[in-house]
Amino acid sequence: MIGKNSVVVVYLESPKEKYFGLLLELHNSGIILRGLNLESFQTWMEEVNSGKKGTAISTFFFPWRRVVKMILDEETDGVESLTQRFKRRTGKGIFEILLP
């Protein structure tokens, strides 16, 4: 079930974007997510792994009118989740990095 502190991927429109992160809050007007654009995920893992702080994690508000769908980041049919990939590549837990 998707709820507060779930790790999710959010699909947006106008413009089309995908964000990965920790769902902080669900409101009647939208969602608050702490994370980053999914296009930056690979670079971010490499930076965390090397101890750099180049790609900033931010806290975003997305109004419901932009949200197309939100999926839980979880292993599916043997394909690892982004959270699992992050742990395998960096040795760090996603919550220790994403929690404000």
Summarize pLDDT for 52-65 with one digit per residue, the tens.
766 789 999 999 99
Q: Which of 6, 18, 83 is nearest to 48 (CA)?
A: 83
Report the pLDDT value the prediction gives residue 54, as an integer from 0 to 100.
63
pLDDT at 100: 65
pLDDT for the residue 58? 95
Where are the domains positioned within the chain? 7-98
Mark residue 28 as left, alpha or beta (left: phi above 0; alpha: psi -120 to 50; beta: remaining): alpha
Average the pLDDT over 70-81 and give the result.
95
The percentage of residues in the chain with a pLDDT greater than 70, rounded to a whole number, is 97
> From residue 86, how far is each of 14, 44, 55, 66, 90 by CA, in Å?
28, 9, 15, 27, 6
Determine the average pLDDT of the residues in 25-48.
95
pTM: 0.92
Query: CA 38 to CA 58: how far, in whole Å?
Result: 13
